[in-house]
Amino acid sequence: MCDVEAKLIAWLDGELPTDEASAVERHVERCQDCRRCVAAYRQVSETFHAYCDAVMAAEARRRVPRWMPVLAGTVVAAAVILLVFPRTRDEPPLVGHTINSASMPVPAPTPAEPAPRKATMRRRHAAPRVQERAAEIQPMDTTIQIAIPAEAMFPPGAMPNGINFIAEVTIAPDGSVQQVRLRQ
Amino acid sequence: MSDDSVPLALPLLRLAAGSSEVTTLYRELRKPLLRYLVCLGLTSDEAQDVVQDAFVSLQRHMASGGDQENMRGWLFRVAHNQARNRQTSYHRRFGETLDGEKDFLADDATPEQLVLEREKLRRVAAAIRLLTESERECLLLRAGGLRYREIGEVLGMATSTVGDTVDRAMRKLAEKCNV
């Protein structure tokens, strides 16, 4: 083993004084063993770098953005609300076709009518009413706004304190997310 | 980390930094700092917190007229000390055999190349586990682009000691990785 071999790593790292580095360089040019060592150290350095990158990539795959659960939860909640209470703003009257005024209250059942017959009639009318209502459902312009603090997205000090960004989530008629827009 | 970074518009960065020097340092060192901290064992979120805290400290340091020499070493030192304070995470995972190496090996690699690369990573992970704590830290900081003098400042070691430690660690890795 050459004496110079002990300086090879420092030489590769550019940590030797200029004159010493020149001497090592001249030696490496004519010493095959040292050239082999240099190649080995270079390869070890590259593998170490690759391993560091791999650790970083593995950690990134594990990571879920902090705001993602909030957004996902909001979207799911919005979808459930839309499915359970479709178009509550223009609720049609729960009466037959002969009633024209939407503001008219639902009439009480006629007391004279026999109970079993009343139940049958209700059932008979119920099905068409559901179908009609389903046909009337129109796409809604439902937009959910989520405030995201600026410090969650930018480095500290990037924005003045208290600034929030608004994520607008537009829900499609089928409950899926149609559009997500970020604005200040 | 897929790059988990949020793209920042330059005006925002300028506002954040208050000086072009901090902006440059942020762009240059954010990723190496994150990689260093994740390799020390912090989670991605913990690493992001530490890096943000380090840059806040840097802003205060510069605003108070602190020494502006070797800011790179200064940032790594602050980040290193904050990572040390999170002892539950420190050195938790570095040296572990990684799952799913395929995800970060080249897409166009042949099956033989994939096998070789996986084997190489497995061997280096095994070799890293045999290093002492200071050897691991020296190599990680060296991989982050720090000079021996800067590594010594981060770890509180003499420059010559850093040189010896790096030399010893590299020989161990070369021996164990059979290169």
Q: Does A63 touch chain B (CB under 8 A)?
A: yes
- How many distinct structural domains can be found in chain A? 3
Q: Taking CB atoms and an 8 Å cutoff, what residues of chain A touch B139? A: 48
- Sequence-distant (6+) residues with CB within 8 A of B72 are B25, B28, B29, B145, B146, B150
B74 touches chain A (CB under 8 A): no
For the stretch A20-34, pLDDT in tens is 999 999 999 999 999
Domain assignment present for B94: no
**B29 within a domain of the structure (yes/no):** yes
Each residue's pLDDT tens digit, B160-179: 999 999 999 999 999 988 76
B55 is in which domain, residue-wise? 10-84
B161 vs B62 pLDDT, higher one:
B161
Query: B68: domain CATH number?
Result: 1.10.1740
Residues B165 and B107 in one domain: yes
Q: A29 and A16 in one domain?
A: yes
Are A160 and A76 contained in the same domain? yes
Q: Which domain holds residue A117?
A: 101-136
pLDDT digits (tens, 9 = 90+) for A153-176: 766 666 666 667 777 777 777 777
Q: Are residues B79 and B105 in the same domain?
A: no
The per-residue pLDDT for B34 is 94
Domain of B127, CATH number, reads: 1.10.10.10
The pLDDT tens digits of the residues spanning B21-31 come to 788 889 899 99
Nearest CA in chain A to B146: A13
The residue among A35, A42, A51, A67 with the most chain B CBs within 10 A of its CB, best to mutate, is A51
Of B18, B53, B84, the residue at which a domain comes to its end is B84
Is it the case that residue A49 has pLDDT exceeding 60? yes
Domains in chain B, number: 2
Q: Is residue B56 part of a domain?
A: yes
B109 and B59 co-located in one domain: no
Give a yes or no: residue B3 inside a domain.
no
Q: Sort out which chain A residues have CB atoms less than 8 A from B100's CB and list them.
A: 58, 61
Q: What is the mean pLDDT of residues B55-82?
A: 87
The answer as to whether A94 is a domain residue is no
Residues of chain A contacting residue B173, judged by C-beta atoms under 8 Å apart:
44, 47-48
Q: B124 to chain A: which residues are within 8 Å by CB?
A: 44, 47-48, 50-51
Q: Is residue A45 part of a domain?
A: yes
Confidence (pLDDT) at A141: 56
Domain presence at residue B72: yes
